[in-house]
Amino acid sequence: MDGTPEAPAPDVSRKRRPGRTAVLIAAAAVLGVVAGTCAGYLVQADREPTGLPPLSQPVLTQAEGEAPEPLSAGRDRRVRTDGDLRELLLEKPRGAREPDWPVGEDGWMDLAEYAGYYEGAGSVFGQLAMDGFRRAAVVGWRDDDDHTVEIRLVQFRQEEGLAAADHTESSHYWADEAADTDSWAVPGTGDGRAYVHNSPDTEPGYEPLYAAEAHAWRGDVSMEIWVYGTEPVPKKMIMDLAERQMERL
Q: Give pLDDT tens digits for 137-174.
A: 999 999 988 899 999 999 999 988 899 999 999 999 99
Contacts of 77 (CB under 8 A, 6+ apart): 218, 219, 249
pLDDT tens digits along 59-68? 555 556 565 5
Q: Compute the average pLDDT of residues 188-209.
A: 94
User: Domain 95-247 is in which class?
Assistant: alpha beta
218 and 249 Cβ atoms separated by less than 8 Å: yes
Map out the domains of the chain as residue ranges.
Answer: 17-47, 95-247
CA distances from 141 to 76, 181, 235 (A): 30, 24, 18
pTM of the full predicted structure? 0.68
109 and 136 Cβ atoms separated by less than 8 Å: yes
